[in-house]
Structure formats: structure tokens, C-alpha cells
Structure 1
Amino acid sequence: MRNIVILSALAALLAGCVTSSRILVTPLGTGPEDAEKTYVYALPQTILKVEVTCQEVRSVPGPYWEYAEKFLGIGEVIRQPSSSWDILDVEISHHTEADPGHLYSLHLLNGTFREEMLDRFRQKGMLLDGTEMVKASIAGPGLVSNRKSDYLRYVDLGVEENFEERTETMYKTLVTDTSFVRVPVDRTIVEQKTIARKAEEAAEFILLIRSSRFEMLSGEYKVFPQGEAMAAAIDRLDRLEDSYLSLFTGKNLRTVYRRSYFLVPEQGAVSSDYRLGMFSGQLGFVPAGLMEGVPLEVRITPEGKTAGIEKLNARVTEEYHYNQLYYRIPDVVDLKVVLGDRLLKQERISLFQAGALVAHPLD
């Protein structure tokens, strides 16, 4: 350790002998007034973008669900309307912006200074000149998703008419001179079919579809479709059967939503938790005051890999007051996105805010 201190002091002495310039770097607004020139630079900070993809599944019973087992032998059907939510995916990206808490002025007190000396730091993203343009966007929750608004409507309830005719016999009494005579009279009544009758017709049509498809596949048709016509016919029959089966089994509508968040981690090497919102398995994203759901959080834990560098630099910076450049070495952090106790995503990324502030001699 003593040898390191001696070598550091020797390097400082040599640097002072070689350079003819005197430069002082201070936080912006605190520099000397007698500087010949002043340059401004900023340290970068890491901005996180968290994109959450979730799905809502809405289940709606069919109009004939009560007759599914009677006419088709299907017992597992949707009986009540319901809604369920789940998170499908989490994507994490990041970009850098100028850190407003780390703006510095480089003051040339005497001698010369070439701004190109900072290029190697800029190329590595260690310094920013503050004029960089940032463009990052997220989609708001109010935008339309891929929901099919009319998918849950049942408009095709069968191929038969909604009304049926029936004949009933009634008796009309005729009065004669000597007696009363009851004469039968037939009349036709048109009435709306019952739900049970319409369900029976729909079930018969499903069986007809299956029979037609079997005959087509087994070659029993007199005119047998060929090539693409065969595939198109089978596909159409499949979709038609699914449509009529949903009258008994119900429908599930899956809608995908995406929510994005910008997150600016705090300065320092301590662990931090950031709540993105509350998520419910029945309602999706809900307001915090609703007392429903579990928190969706981002947990950041720095690994402290730059802690030793910062301690060593703290001893050196007092000796190198002039002709030194301040920058920050990012630290690696363990980043987790959790929903309650459920881990959704885990990544290791470099975070400038968790890193060490060090000084580099200007040569």
C-alpha cells in the first residue's frame, strides 16, 4: 500500500511537470471567475424502460349452455361470465441521458486545452456535452388494443327460422233450431320457438356438419373436391362447427394490453424498490387506493463492484485537485421485476447512478 501511495505521488509530480496548463473542474456554477475558457460537460445517468405485456381473458356463456350435455354430451362449458388477467411478458431496455445532478464546468486557468482530449470519454459514453437529443416514447393505456368488440356477440343462432307453425283444433258451437252443435275448426298458429327447440336444431346442424366432413374426407361424395378446394372446404366446415359449438360451450376472448414505464433509479449503491402499480388477477391494473391486487415492483440491488475504486479514488482526489477530470464508472446491478412474491424478470445491467465517481488526470 505504501508503494502505491509513493507511485501515485510520483505520477502526480510528473504530470505537473509535463503539462503547462492549469485546469480546474468544479460543479456547474461554483467555478472561479478568472478562467480563460470554460467548458461544460455532464455525466450520464441510466434511464430504464419497463414494458409489461398482460392479457385479459373474458369468458361468456353461450345461449344454449344448459342443453350442451343433453344434445351433445358436453359437460364442461362456461356457465357464468368471468374475467381473468395475467402478465405474459416483461421487457427491460435502457438509454442514457444527462444527469442534472452531475453537471460540471471545466475551467482553463492558464495554458492551453484541446477539447478533443475529451473525445475518448465521449465515445465510450462516459461524458455528455449536454446537447444530446433524447427521444423515447411509451404507449399510453388509453390506446386501443387488439380487442374484437363484436366477438362476444351471438348473432348466428341457427339455420332454421325463428318462428314455427303449429295447428290446433278448436271447437265452434253452432246454434240450430233444436240443439247446439260443436263443430271442430283447425287453425294455424305462428309462434316463436323456445330456447330448447332452437338448441336442438343447432345441435342437429352440428351433427350434420360433422357428417358432411366425414363423407368428404372418406371420399363418399359423388363430386369430390380436389387440391386447394378440399382444404378450403374442410377449413370452412371446421370454422362453422366451432361457431355453432360456441353456442353451447361459450366463448373466450383474449385481449393483449401493453403498459410501459420510464424509471430513473436513485443515486447511490443501496438497494431500492420501485412500485409500478397494483395488479389484480380479476381486474388487471387497478388504482392503489382500491385495496385490490398485489404490487408490481422493480427491485434494484447494486453488486458493489466499484466500491473499492471509489475508496481508492477518495484518497487520490485530494492530491489531484487540478488537471483532473471527474467521471463515473457504472456498477452492475441485479434488477428484478416481481409481482408480489412471483419473479417475472431478472437481468444484470450496468447502472451509472450506482457507480463510483472517480477522477482521471488530464494529460
Structure 2
Amino acid sequence: MRYILSVVLVAFLMVGCSTGQKVVNSGIVTQSDSQSPNGHGLWYYLPKTVIKVTVTAEKQVQKSGPFYRYAQRFLNLTDVITEDHEKWVLTGARVSTEGVADRSRLFHISTKGQPGMAVLNRSVDGVLLSVNAQPVKRKRLMSVNVPGNEIDLNSINFNEAPFTEDQLIKTSTTAMAEEVAKEIYRLRALRQDILEGNADQLPPDGQSYRITLDEINRLEKACLELFIGKKEVQEVVHTYIYTPSAGSDLNSVLFRFSEAKGFVDASNLTGTPVYIQVEASTSEAVNYVAQEDKKESDNRGLVYCEPVAAQVKIIDRTLLLTSEQVLLAQFGKLLRLPADLLDTPQMGVQLQPETGALVKVVRNYSIKD
């Protein structure tokens, strides 16, 4: 598997037939005080939940054409761009979660004989995904998407305009604009003649007809842009990772956003704040495993997490961009499965990769490579 580490335990006690000893099934699960494995045996982490916020914005760039002052005079156009301008606008946000190894929730499994927890599936960072069962498909965090070629005023030009020699030799901008306007009217008249079948030479077939009209439209658009200007819009997506933790402020500035610069760092005061607000039903995790009586409790059962629900809001100053409910592992309860559950042949369990929660108990499991 690409992201699953399968640990297969096969251990038999070597006993003589005359001894009458039984194979001992003892998989003891204990929580470690360290943050990484410090000895032999099987180790696994339960996850903590990280929140992934995917924010979408538009960068709008508009550039005035060189003949915008003559748009009304020669073409009777008033809705034109009269100044160069760049502007950023937030358009939306999405919230999702993923589990990463919680270094404070490390567990050790010690076994003797033929253990019930025979197949342990972990992620590459050691998070337990399943025991004796196929794991639940794990979500992957998306990387931050920053366009390689971000548009700006310098990237917008009017080189597509088909200037003729007569237009270029004009000694004034007014005269040049007038010649280009005449070209626009000529292209419109030519298109009308072709559509009405009055042109001196019509395209010979349907494909040529479409190609001719497309080229006329392209030339007209390039000439018109010299008067009305150009506007380009680019979508930009940024992804932010936020990890709620007990005792931390659950209403934080996720990033700042500037109408002129777009996405900026949370500490950059040129932008206005965009907040992440996490409203959890509780922020105090309960560890029932730590409260067990070590002398009386059967600690062979697998430890899992019962997460808590939380409402995550992304707020642009006072505007709510999105509000979604998620489950958080780090504020949840640590519980133990019944000790003999996995002693039953072909019994297995699946855990939620994002939270370590129990998804299902399965029977007649099958592990594929």
C-alpha cells in the first residue's frame, strides 16, 4: 500500500506436546510518557485533528486602452476603463480535516504467544488506522496553490491590435484613433455582408465560413480594446493549516487580506484580518485510560478516541465566509475496547484517520497487499 505500513505479528510459544500448555494470547496496550518509541515492541499514535482551510480569491486587473479618451467621440462608447487598477476580492472558503500523529498519545503493545492483534495498519507517521481489517481511506492535505504566472498590469498589453501602415504613420493620437475606429466599422460592415451573402467573395464551405467570422471577431475585439481597455480575472487558491489545542485561543487571525496585495501574513498589518473561530463542545480532553486501576483493570484492550464536535467559522472581518461542523480528536475521550474483542478469530476494527474514532468492528477480514 502506498501510505499504509502493515505490521504483521506472528509469534508462537515453542512448547512440547507433553506439557499441555496453552498458547497465551496477551496483547497489553499501555500509554507511553515519551513522545517517540523508546524500546522494542509495537507502537502506535492516535491522531490529533488539523483543520485545513482552503480560501479562494480573485485578482482583478484592468488596464485602460491608449484611445480611451476618444471612445465616445468616434464609437459612441461610454462604459470604458479610464485608469489602470488592480484589485483582490475574497470569493469563498472551505473547511476540511486530517489526522496527524499526536505525540502525546503514544501507545505500546506488548504481546506473548499468538496475539489477537495480528495485523496492525498504520500511516507513515505511525497513526493507527486499523487492526485486522482494511483501513478507512485517508484524506490527503492539499498543498498551497500559488500561480506560477500571476497576472499584473505589466502582463496586459494591446499587441494583438492589427495596426496598419496608414494608422501608424498618423502624426497625432487623435488621427490614429480615428483610423482604428474606421477599421472597426469596416470589419463590422464586412461581417454583415458575409452574413447576408452580399460579400464579393463568400467562404467556400461551412468551416471556412466559421473561420472567417472568427477572425473578423478577433480583429474587431483587438481594435475595440484600444478604446474600452482590458480586464482580466485570475482565481488564486491558498490553503492554511490550523491545529486547535487545549488552552490556546480558539478565535485567531488565520491570515490577513489586502485589496491591493491579496493574501498576506497574519502579522502584516497592511491587510484586514480573516479569523478562524472554533467552537468546541468542550476543550478539556478526558483520558479514561489514565484513570484505570492498573492492578484490577484488564489493559489488553485497544485504546481509541471518542472525538468531540466543533463548529468552525471563517470570518472576513464581520462577513461569514463559511461555517462547518468537524470532529476534533485532541479534545476527545480516550477509551479502551473490550479486552477480548480481538481475541475472536477474524475480528477486526477500523479507526477514523482524522480522529482515531472507532468506525466499525468487522468480521471475516481480509488484508490485501
Structure 1 and Structure 2 fold alike (TM over 0.5): yes
Identity of aligned residues (%): 24
Decide which structure has the larger Cα Rg and report it: 1
Question: In 1, distance between residues paired with 2:262 and 2:323?
Answer: 22
2:218 counterpart of 1:218: no
Q: Which residue is equivalent to 1:230? A: 209
Q: Which residue is equivalent to 1:285? A: 263
Question: In 1, distance between residues paired with 2:174 and 2:259?
Answer: 35
2:163 counterpart of 1:158: yes
The one of 219, 234, 240 equivalent to 2:219 is: 240
Alignment partner of 1:255: what SS?
Answer: strand
Alignment partner of 1:161: what SS?
Answer: helix
Judge conservation of contact 1:50–1:260 (CA < 8 Å) in 2: yes
Alignment partner of 1:247: what SS?
Answer: helix
1:328 shift after superposition: 1.1
Write out per-residue CA displacement over residues 114-158 of structure 1, whole angstroms, 9 at most, x where no aligned residue: 151785999xx98359xx9997562464x5136488752123373
Q: Which residue is equivalent to 2:343? A: none
Alignment partner of 2:337: what SS?
Answer: strand
Q: Which residue is equivalent to 2:277? A: 299
Question: In 2, distance between residues paired with 1:206 and 1:297?
Answer: 50
Judge conservation of contact 2:168–2:176 (CA < 8 Å) in 1: no
What number of residue pairs does the alignment pair up?
303
Cα pair distance change 1:137/1:23, threshold 3 Å: same
1:93 shift after superposition: 3.5
Cα pair distance change 1:284/1:121, threshold 3 Å: closer
Alignment partner of 2:193: what SS?
Answer: helix
Q: Which residues of structure 1 form unaligned runs of 5+?
A: 1-18, 165-191
Question: In 1, distance between residues paired with 2:47 and 2:181?
Answer: 67
2:280 counterpart of 1:334: no
The one of 347, 351, 360 equivalent to 2:324 is: 347
Question: In 2, distance between residues paired with 1:242 and 1:163?
Answer: 19
Q: Which amino acid counterpart does residue 138 of structure 1 have in structure 2? A: S
State which drifts further: 201-210 or 215-224: 215-224
Q: Which amino acid counterpart does residue 25 of structure 1 have in structure 2? A: T
Judge conservation of contact 2:45–2:106 (CA < 8 Å) in 1: yes
Cα pair distance change 1:114/1:198, threshold 3 Å: same
Write out per-residue CA displacement over residues 17-40 of structure 1, whole angstroms, 9 at most, x where no aligned residue: xx985946232449xx9x9x8542
Judge conservation of contact 2:62–2:230 (CA < 8 Å) in 1: yes
Cα pair distance change 1:278/1:44, threshold 3 Å: same
Cα pair distance change 1:151/1:292, threshold 3 Å: closer
1:218 shift after superposition: 1.5
Judge conservation of contact 1:213–1:237 (CA < 8 Å) in 2: yes
Alignment partner of 1:348: what SS?
Answer: strand
TM (norm. structure 1) is 0.69
Cα pair distance change 1:104/1:250, threshold 3 Å: same
State which drifts further: 94-103 or 240-249: 94-103
Cα pair distance change 1:256/1:113, threshold 3 Å: same
Cα pair distance change 1:149/1:282, threshold 3 Å: closer
Question: In 2, distance between residues paired with 1:298 and 1:113?
Answer: 49
Richer in helix (by share) = 1
TM (norm. structure 2) is 0.68
Q: Which residues of structure 2 form unaligned runs of 5+?
A: 1-23, 341-369
